[in-house]
Structure 1
Amino acid sequence: MTDSPQVVTVLGATRNFFKVGHYTLRRLAADAPQLTLRLAIPEARIAGRAVSDIDVQLRNWEPADPVSLAEALTGTDTMLMVPPIDRRVDIGGMYLRAAQKAGVQQIVCLGIQFAPEQCAMADEVATLEALLEKSGIAFDLVQLPMFLENILYQCKSIAEAGSFTFPVDADRPFSYLSCDDAADLFCRKILSPDSVDLSGNLMSHHAQATCAQWASALSQVCGRPITFARQTDEHFVASLAKYGMRRDAAAQVLGLWERIGAEGDAPATRAAELLLGRPSTGLEAWTRAHACCFGTEFTSCPHPHPPTQHMFGPA
């Protein structure tokens, strides 16, 4: 901890600030008050309302203006890099050029669970990894599975219709992790960069789950039946497209689910648990802890939720 950087910046391209970046800033504020924390995101003042109760610098930048991004990163020692799904390589490359100009020393970058040629998104992640290697900046590209928090996009459906949906069969196992556990891992890396390695292993809960199991867990915490129905591929793509995500990017997200359905998800590991020094959070425990997210009062729930304006801006 003696080598902790002075400035840690969470960098994102969208206003979808409620998952790992949010949890990481909160953990750092509590565990490392000596650090200067920064959120660099378009419309930063809007996203910053979610962390208005902690000391976080807000730096706005314009996606069409790389100079504004370099200015937003000025003074940053460590960057938590959250690449967007849409235009991952182009925007990720812009991140790295700005990081080089700003003198960033360390990057923790979010990756996915699959290898090149397993799905289209994995190919893009691999291309971005090559850019990270060429940047000359020390980095960890973290293999991450589905976040449990992804279901929070469906709070309204669960509360009002008693149902949720993903483009996968009910009994198909998937690997997962909670955003809070991911943030804990990131914080350990940020505070002790030489002793924590987040590369090379999937950072997941030690066991997989299915949507059928999730429906059962939701039914228990809600005290009423919650059902799961497989979402059609076209409906899934259309649901993302209506919020402005380009169709080919939406197809990449679908490709993750298609890979899980056809070949299985990347196997769960105990790598996260070993690094955390404690058990990671299981699906049932997480669902119990978030019971307030799935009732009619979910809009006033204290947990972080997706912003009213969806994560994807205009195409």
Structure 2
Amino acid sequence: MNATDPTPAPDSLSTGPLTAVTGASGALGGRVATRLARAGVPVRLLGRDPARLPDLPGADPAPPAPYGDGEAMRRALAGAHTLFLVSAHESPDRVREHTTAVNAAVAAGVERIVYVSFLGAEPDATFTFARDHWDTEAHIRTADVRFTFLRDSWYLAGLPAMTGADGVLRGPGGDGRVAAVAHEDIADAATAVLLADTDATGPSHDGRTYELTGPVAFTLAEAADELSRVTGRTITYEPETREEAYASRAHYGAPDWEVAGWVTSYEAIAAGEMAAVSDAVPRLTGRPAMDLATYLRTHPDSYRHLLTEG
């Protein structure tokens, strides 16, 4: 259990409605599944590789069920009351995969979907993948199911990860600001939503959209300064033009749609679309959201590749 995990260990066997958690072998789904299991909630674990699913009390591992396989998803979700839907890996078919998974959930009798979306999800968002989230949200709204949307900001983990071994964080982010958020904070907020009562005596999150951000918005240059302090070497931010950004990423050999997603994620920062600071994390969890300095101090593995100059 993470030190910030607010959920108590269960005193008895898991009871109550079944919650299905997708991406349960991943950074976010795994944290949420662990928190639910510790709270005594019966959990069904879905993941791309069942062998990598965590061993949790009261948890039921499902057989492989790709989002795009409606029948497999329907079988995996049979008997589930709530679906925690972590968005699929980026692909040209991502929206179709999401809508297939949602349709399968409704067909299986799922009554509520808590969907992990993205900050600034709009049909004309600068960040191309955020448009996928808007389309998915729109489909869920038309389905016969209760829903809550968790719109996450950039992950704090992404900042050191996107900094090269040469000590340069480069991209067309300009002087824009981003209120990046920790996986732990998203998991705690999601758990609060999933555990909340929805009757007349308790809080209802039905139909709500929560923007999950860190406590402050900062520039990428400020992020580089923080990385410099924690690594003890000079880390710099190199603002790029769009053309420079595409050129500097060409060596990866990634498909055009994927490179466009990488580049436009920075351009969304430059456009001011990632600067929002929300109080949703402290409202849902009862504690402050983690800032970048705290994240780096408590996650040294995230910047280990920067400790030796390349």
Kindly indicate whether the alpha-carbon contact (under 8 Å) linking 2:171 and 2:263 is maintained by their aligned counterparts in 1: no
Name which one, 1 or 2, has greater alpha-carbon Rg: 2
Query: 1:126 maps to which residue?
Result: 134
Which AA in structure 2 matches 1:223? G
Distance 1:74 1:264, change over 3 A: closer
Pick from 74, 99, 106 the counterpart of residue 78 of structure 2. Answer: 74
Cα offsets for 1:43-79 (capped at 9, x unmatched): 232x32xx34666433212456321121122222211
Query: 1:234 maps to which residue?
Result: 246
- Which of the pair has the greater relative contact order for Cα pairs under 8 Å at 6+ separation? 1
2:167, 2:81 → 1: CA distance?
46
Moved more, 199-208 or 173-182: 199-208
How far the C-alpha of 1:282 sits from its partner, in A, is: 0.7
1:149, 1:52 → 2: CA distance?
25
Query: 2:117 maps to which residue?
Result: 111
SS at match of 1:279: coil
User: Structure 2 matches for 1:146-161, cutoff 5 A?
Assistant: 146-151=154-159, 153-154=161-162, 157-158=164-165, 161=166
The answer as to 2:209 corresponding to 1:200 is: yes
The answer as to 2:32 corresponding to 1:27 is: no
1:55, 1:153 → 2: CA distance?
34
The answer as to 2:299 corresponding to 1:287 is: no
Kindly indicate whether the alpha-carbon contact (under 8 Å) linking 2:85 and 2:113 is maintained by their aligned counterparts in 1: yes
How far the C-alpha of 1:295 sits from its partner, in A, is: 2.4
SS at match of 2:287: coil
The answer as to 2:194 corresponding to 1:190 is: yes
2:275, 2:197 → 1: CA distance?
26
Query: 2:17 maps to which residue?
Result: 6
Which AA in structure 1 matches 2:18? V
The answer as to 2:230 corresponding to 1:218 is: no
SS at match of 2:178: coil
What TM-score comes out, normalization by structure 2 length?
0.78
Pick from 78, 93, 101 the counterpart of residue 95 of structure 1. Answer: 101
Distance 1:24 1:73, change over 3 A: same
Structure 1: runs of 5 or more not aligned = 299-315
How far the C-alpha of 1:172 sits from its partner, in A, is: 2.5
1:54, 1:153 → 2: CA distance?
32
How far the C-alpha of 1:202 sits from its partner, in A, is: 2.0
Distance 1:138 1:272, change over 3 A: same
1:205, 1:40 → 2: CA distance?
28
2:59, 2:170 → 1: CA distance?
35
Which AA in structure 2 matches 1:57? D
C-alpha RMSD of matched pairs (Å): 3.0
Pick from 173, 190, 209 the counterpart of residue 168 of structure 1. Answer: 173
Distance 1:292 1:266, change over 3 A: closer
Query: 2:264 maps to which residue?
Result: 255
Distance 1:221 1:53, change over 3 A: farther
How far the C-alpha of 1:121 sits from its partner, in A, is: 3.6
How far the C-alpha of 1:288 sits from its partner, in A, is: 0.8
1:23, 1:238 → 2: CA distance?
34
Which AA in structure 2 matches 1:26? T
1:56, 1:237 → 2: CA distance?
41
Give percent identity, aligned residues only: 22
1:74, 1:239 → 2: CA distance?
44
Which AA in structure 2 matches 1:254? V
Kindly indicate whether the alpha-carbon contact (under 8 Å) linking 2:179 and 2:275 is maintained by their aligned counterparts in 1: yes
Query: 1:301 maps to which residue?
Result: none
Q: Number of matched residues?
A: 281
Moved more, 102-111 or 252-261: 252-261
1:10, 1:121 → 2: CA distance?
22
1:217, 1:54 → 2: CA distance?
39
Query: 1:144 maps to which residue?
Result: 152
Query: 2:183 maps to which residue?
Result: 179
1:187, 1:240 → 2: CA distance?
36
Kindly indicate whether the alpha-carbon contact (under 8 Å) linking 1:80 and 1:108 is maintained by their aligned counterparts in 2: yes
Query: 1:310 maps to which residue?
Result: none
